[in-house]
Structure formats: C-alpha cells, structure tokens
Amino acid sequence: KAETCGYQSCPQVDPTKLNVHLVAHTHDDVGWLKTVDQYYYGARTDIQRAGVQYILDSVVDALKDNPQRRFIYVETAFFWKWWLEQSLERQQLVKDLVNEGRLEFTGGAWSMNDEAAVHYHSTIDQFTWGLRKLNDTFGACGRPHVGWQIDPFGHSREMASTFSRMGYDGLFFARLDYQDKAERLRQKTTEMVWQGSPNLGKSSADLFTSVLYNHYSAPRGFCFDVLCQDDPFIDNTNSADYNVDEKVNEFVSFVLQQAQSYTTNNIILTMGDDFHYQDASMYFKNLDKLIKYVNAANESL
C-alpha cells in the first residue's frame, strides 16, 4: 500500500480564501496533578477528570468513522503504554491511519520537555527514545516534522537549535511574554525564522517558529469536548434551539480577527486542550458540522 502520510497527505488549500487549518489535539501532561499511570488509566477523577487510554481508544474510532478527520498525538510515553495493550487488528488499523496521514505524530518525544531547567543531553535522550519507538513501529510515516512545545513556560534558543539539527521543519508554541506577544500580534511578527545558534554554520540551526493565537485552546464557544460547556451545533431548522447561523457568524468573526495578526492566507486553530477527546466523537461530530456549515455559508459570498 502506497504511503500517503506527511506532506503528501495534506489537504488542498484555496489560494483565493482564508484557509483555516483545524488541528484536533489533546495536551496530555506526562505527570502533573496526577501520576503518569493515574493519567493513563484515568484514576483519581476527584483530582482531575483525565484518562489517556480513553482518549486514544475514542480518537482511533472517530478517525475510522470519517477519512477527512485528522488528529495529532504528541506524548509518546502515553502512546507507547497504549500501543502495547492493543490487539494486532487494532495495531494494524492504527498503522493504516498513520500511513494515510490521518493520525500524525507531532513533537513525538517521550514527553513535551521543559526548556528552562533541562540539560540538553537529557532532552536529546528523551527525544531519541520517543522517536525510536515511532520509527521502529511506523517507519517514515511515524516521523514528526514539527515541534509542538505548546505548554513549556518560556523557550530556549538551544531547544530551537536542537529541533533544527534533529531535522524538524518548524516549531509551534503558546507561552511567550505577554508584552512580547501583544507586540508580535500588532506587528504581525507572530511567525519568524528562529536562528538557533551563533556557532553552527549559516542557517544550519534555523527553525521556522509560529506563535499560536488563542493559547492552545479552541475559540470561545467552539470547545465541544466532554469537559466543556459550549453548545453543540443544533442544525435542525425545526428546533427552537437552532443555532447554526449564529455559530457560523461567531466563528467567521473569530477567524477574521485572528487572520489580522498573521501574514499568509492560512491560520491554525488548536481544537483541543488539556486531556481533551476522552469522548472524541462528541468533539468530531461538531467539528464535522462546523466545517460543513462554515464552508457552505462562505461559498455563497
């Protein structure tokens, strides 16, 4: 079967329109308020309602249901625990999803490491460990192309250099100084080429870097996770609660606002948050409708 992952599997963009890239994701801390195993199995819900095994189970089902859907997964420590518990049939299904670019690894290290208190040696070791598992399991289609450091509290130049030298093509993150962010949004310098090293040869440690707009969360009103309180799309015109026109307008106004701070006719929207997608169908069902109704409304313009 021909591999159609990576850049080959990308959707067509329309150069005459504002292209809104919906990125369904879950931010799964490898230990925080709970231990790694408590997070994985979903124990101690009194502390935090989070169970990664349910996330991966339901995401795979949701991806199987609709070939248009995409999901990125980041933390190989959790993925590997889950992978070892799957049947051969389930593993083959996941391999197919990865080979078709429907499930894509982003970041791909054992965890999303801190950038302030780490030693670069440990950073490389934990990347090697995560990337080796992905490579041994999925081959070329398991290879992440971009860094995804959405939560670390500040970012080091050495990390940019390391990403570049590991062959990554870009980096996305959310946390930068609030004044820096405000200024970058105003000046449209939210995206840049980060020159990771003053020592390595010209451009050999350069890394395209993009600052995410809305932290790493979905726009207000469009969080469809089981952990959120936003209304779903109610698209039956006979329903007293029909809300499609209102939601489409709200969404379009958000993306036009965001587009003002970026320079191409592409923007990225992070549709997820901490330990989201424990019930992936709930999220994806509404994203399917979002895509359908927003595109339908904009075709008539």
Partner 1 sequence: YVNNSRVNVFYSTPSCYLKAVHDAGQTWTTKQDDFFPYASDPHSYWTGFYTSRPTLKRFERLGNNFLQVCKQLYALTDLGPEDWVDLN
What amino acid positions are annotated as catalytic residues? 151
Which of the 8 DSSP states describes residue 227?
Answer: T
CB of 240 to partner 1, least distance (A): 27
> Of 148-167, which residues contact partner 1 (CB under 8 A)?
148, 153-157
Least distance CB 71 / partner 1 (angstroms):
8
CB 178 within 8 A of CB 201: no
The region of 32-40, 76-84, 191-199, 218-226 touching partner 1 under the rule CB under 8 A is 191-199
- Rule CB under 8 A: is residue 145 a binding residue for partner 1? yes
Angle between helix axes 244-259 and 280-299 (nearest 10 degrees) is 80
**Binding range to partner 1, per CB under 8 A, among 6-14, 37-45, 85-93, 227-235:** 6-14
Does position 219 bind partner 1 by CB under 8 A? no
Binding to partner 1, residues 64-93 (CB under 8 A): 68-70, 72
The DSSP string of 193-209 is EEE--SSSSTTTTEEEE
Decide: residue 268, CB within 10 A, 0-12 exposed, 13-18 middle, 19+ buried: middle
As measured in angstroms, the least distance from the Cβ of 77 to partner 1 is 16
Comparison of 51 and 101: residue with beta carbon closer to partner 1: 101
Say if CB 217 and CB 269 are below 8 A apart. no
The verdict on 44 binding partner 1 (CB under 8 A) reads no
Closer CB to partner 1, 195 or 214, in the complex: 195
Using CB under 8 A as the binding rule, whether residue 22 contacts partner 1 is answered as yes
The verdict on 94 binding partner 1 (CB under 8 A) reads no
Judged by CB under 8 A, does residue 60 bind partner 1?
no
The stretch near partner 1 (CB under 8 A) out of 44-52, 92-100, 228-236, 292-300 is: 292-300
Q: Does 48 bind partner 1 (CB under 8 A)?
A: no
**How far is residue 97's CA from residue 102's CA, in Å, rounded to a whole number?**
5
Is residue 38 at the binding interface for partner 1, with CB under 8 A as the rule?
no
Name residues whose C-beta falls within 8 Å of residue 165's C-beta, 6 or more positions apart in sequence.
196, 200, 204, 205
Can you tell me the distance from the alpha carbon of 15 to that of 37, in angstroms, rounded to the nearest whole number? 46
List residues bridging with 208 in a β-sheet: 170, 193
Residue 85: CB minimum distance to partner 1, A: 20
Q: Rounded distance, CA 49 to CA 47, Å?
A: 7
